[in-house]
Amino acid sequence: MVVSLSVLYPADCCSKMLECGMVELDRQALRRRSVVLCKQMVVDELLIQSLQADNILTEAMADNIMAEQTAQKRSFRLLQLLPKRGPRAFSSFCAALRDTEQEHLCELLTQSPEKDGKETHLKRYEDSSFPLSTEEGIVAKRARTQESMECSLDADSPINTPVLASTRDFYLSHCQQSYRMNSLPRGFALVISNVTFDPCAAPDLDPRKGGEVDDEVLRKVFTELDYVVTVHRDLTAQGMRTCIENFCRRPDHRTMDSCVVCLLSHGVEGGVYGTDGQLLQLDWVFEAFDNAHCPLLQNKPKMFFIQACRGEEMDCGVEQLDGPVRTSSPSCEQRDAGREGQGDADSRQRGDMGRPRIKLPQRSDMICGYASLKGQRICTAAMRNTKRGSWFIQELNTALRLHARDTHLADILVQVNGRIKEREGYAPGTAHHRCKEMSEFTSSLCKDLFLFPKYQ
């Protein structure tokens, strides 16, 4: 019996250390900053994986945290667990914050109580361009500025984790029912980003501070997804048209399996602005890539991402009532009597002279993600953070890096919608405080669109 107790005692001791072993000063720092952490911290897969790798969280704990439906609930659940996870939990948590580019929260936690007084508060208050409450003034990482139409608001940052690769097994089990996607490169990607506008020709269009962050994020992620990326910045409406026409006419589209077009600018419903204040109509853009005008991309997926406002009204959100969550409308699948996909593919390519060729609709195989909704009663203004880029591009970047390996693009954009829905502007004292944004996408894809990153 004595031997049995001596064997069990160390394990029991370790268990109690995990529950009670956090240093009291660290525990107090977490408690003191819990409100701020719940508001600002981004608890994503990277942060959780970092804590798992350091043996701070078990797999079950990680699953429970990520199962929470809102960002604040995930943060709250994590902060409940950390004080019970041993003396290393605090330092590991700070390291995870640094790894996920949330250094300002790490600095806040490690700041000594003596320095966290009135002097610090007054300094940061004076740097701010609008009034902050006492607590918000202490924890503000940097001055926040109010901008028109597109607003710089929150502290989230785009992730830089490498794009996760598709496995051979996943490719083999999904390639038959999806678009062909094995050319190297996968295709060409065009990014047009208008940041600075002509003050004489377009006096009402402010510089899109932070817009350069978005085009760099897109360049990096699509390069890692095996696209040849070209970035053009600050083009007039005619310059944008010329750039797109030249892109459509590239003869090497013939050997590629897809293409990507990203337009980042100020905008209105149905169009985006050139730096001269003239509009480029989006319908013209889609027409340039349709089956008649861009035959080399027929039957190939064409992806569009539009980071632009579609109106000037701010979506202030509405209070959610108790009740079931409304689900998205079911997709509609229309089947016709065409026989494409049946018979010998080679004979279709030769085109038997005795039979008419299969016809294609004017426009097909396109998917377009928009940063904001097409307004019926209210057109929302797309949110942009001046140092970290727009909400939409941040979430698109994150979803592509983490989920493109095993998720088709339509589902990725649904995930982006869900993350955007959770986000909320943070600008106390302004009309932008607690403002909302909602992204959407349209699709004429005819198959699943898997990017199969890094699979050759």
Q: What are the distances in angstroms from CA 436 to CA 3, 153, 296, 391?
A: 63, 11, 40, 11
**Distance separating alpha carbons of residues 414 and 328, to the nearest angstrom:** 9
Only one residue has tokens 């109580």, namely 113
Only one residue has tokens 């307004």, namely 375
Which helix or strand (DSSP H or E) is residue 11 part of? helix 2-20
Q: Which residues pair with 272 in a beta bridge?
A: 267, 280
Pairing, β 302-307 against β 279-281: unpaired
266 annotated active-site? yes
Q: Which residues of 412-436 are buried (b: 16+ CB within 10 A; e: fewer)?
A: bbebbbebbeebbbbbbebebeebb
Active-site hit among 121, 253, 266, 432: 266
* First-residue to last-residue Cα distance in the chain: 61
Only one residue has tokens 């890094």, namely 454
**Distance separating alpha carbons of residues 226 and 187, to the nearest angstrom:** 8
**Distance separating alpha carbons of residues 29 and 24, to the nearest angstrom:** 9
- Residue 188, phi then psi, degrees to nearest 5: -105, 145
Q: In what order do the strands lie in the sheet with 227-233?
A: 227-233, 187-193, 258-264, 302-307, 366-370, 440-443
Active-site hit among 309, 368, 379, 435: 309
Q: What are the distances in angstroms from CA 191 to CA 91, 261, 284, 306, 390?
A: 40, 6, 17, 10, 15
Looking at residue 355, the DSSP 8-state letter turns out to be S
Which residues does the annotation mark as catalytic? 266, 309
